[in-house]
Structure 1
Amino acid sequence: MKRAKLNRFFIKLLLSVIILLSCKGVSFAQPALPERALTVAATQGLYFGKFYDLGTGGSVSVDWQGIRTTTGSIVPAPNSVARPAIFEVRLCQGRNVAITYAPTTILSGSNGGVFTLNIGPTEKGINGASFTVENNCNFITVLRVGGTLIIPGNAPPGFYSGNFEISFDQQ
């Protein structure tokens, strides 16, 4: 009788081991989560094209679509192309990204002049706006940024350049 109980125990143990070994290829773990890192690449700078001032100053604006307008005595040069700044944003799973930037910066001229650059708006909204990136981790969400140059009267001609910074924070 003891021997029969012992045999049943070993048979049950053997069956349990066989069942466990046959299930070794089955996994009940969740799939790996996609990367949560936010990556941003600046792929095009904000460019106002060529223009000239008839003497009293004004402004030249490029919106996020690349459309240029002028005010005051600023005249755009014919066939001169303007373009918005472009940033490529990649973040998985359709998360939200908030953008923030200083509203103004100064551009320095090659001949000593200075222009004020008012940054924005972007195609996703104004400073502090939030937008959702695409769900696909391999898809790039493009953010275009425009701006307005304030040009003082009788500003010296030259090449004006500078930098602006945009922060991208995942929410």
Structure 2
Amino acid sequence: MIHIKSTKYRILDLLLLAMFFLFINILNAQPGLPQREITVVPTQPIDFGTFYVTGAGSIKVDFQGNVSTTGGVISVNSSSVTPAVFEIKLCQGRTVTLNNVYSVYINGSNGGQLELLIGEAKRDGLGDILTNGSSFAVDTNCTFTTILRAGGTLIVPANAVPGVYIGSFPMTFTQQ
């Protein structure tokens, strides 16, 4: 026996089928997952200001921008001294691990070379002092920026060549 549906029932079947597919699309249209990629932007370089050398020593800038010297290094203009600043974006509930080398050499404009020891870092207003291998949780939500400030120490030999010293240091931020 052959059963033929009326046009009325075919339209009803098509309508039900269309609603079924619409329902499936609604189920799949869930909000996106939080940002999983870390974004780090260096916004301020470390600056030791102007100093002169009467003998071997060092000059240190901490994560707050305070300057101190040892030995024959004398700071002349501490107003231009700044720590390095990084802006980190990653969603709340995630952890960032800071990794950096202990020291690098930076080159002077007149041929000299100074050793830069990478110093401690700290998040603005929160958390413990961070060193190589330290981890910290990021702040609030996916649109908030976590500010990290880092200091360092220049080791200055007695025969340091006067000049402008410029360089960089690697710092790796790993998300977990």
Which category of TM-score, normalised to the shorter sequence, fits these structures? 0.7 to 0.9
**Who is 2:44 aligned against?**
44
RMSD, aligned α-carbons: 2.6
CA contact (8 A) 2:49 2:77 kept: no
Partner of 1:140: 145
After superposition, the Cα gap between the structure-2 partners of 1:51 and 1:80, relative to the gap in structure 1 and judged at 3 Å, is farther
Using the TM superposition, give the Cα deviation of residue 90 of structure 1 relative to its aligned residue in structure 2, in angstroms.
Answer: 0.4
> Which aligned pairs between 1:21-170 and structure 2 lie closer than 5 A?
24=23, 27=26, 30-54=30-54, 56-78=55-77, 80-123=79-122, 124-170=129-175
In 1: Cα distance, 2:78 partner to 2:130 partner: 29
Q: Is the 8 A contact 1:120 1:127 kept in 2?
A: no
Could you state the TM-score of these two structures normalised by the residue count of structure 1? 0.82
> 1:32, 1:160 → 2: CA distance?
46
Stretches of structure 1 that go unaligned for 5 or more consecutive residues are 1-9
Percentage of pairs with the same residue: 45
Q: Which deviations, in whole Å up to 9, do the C-alpha atoms of 1:16-67 show, x marking residues without a partner?
A: x5xx67x95995564321121111111111110001112x120000001111
Look at both structures and tell me which one has the larger radius of gyration over its CA atoms: 1
TM-score when normalising by structure 2: 0.79
- Supply the distance in 2 between the matched residues of 1:78 and 1:46 (Cα, whole angstroms): 14
* Closer/same/farther in 2, CA of residues 26 and 111 from structure 1, 3 Å limit: closer
Change (3 A) 1:99 1:35: same
Alpha-carbon offset, residue 135 of structure 1: 3.0
- Contact 1:40 / 1:89 at 8 angstroms: preserved in 2? yes
Q: Which residues of structure 2 form unaligned runs of 5+?
A: 1-8, 123-128
26 and 164 in structure 1: CA distance in 2 versus 1, 3 angstrom threshold:
closer
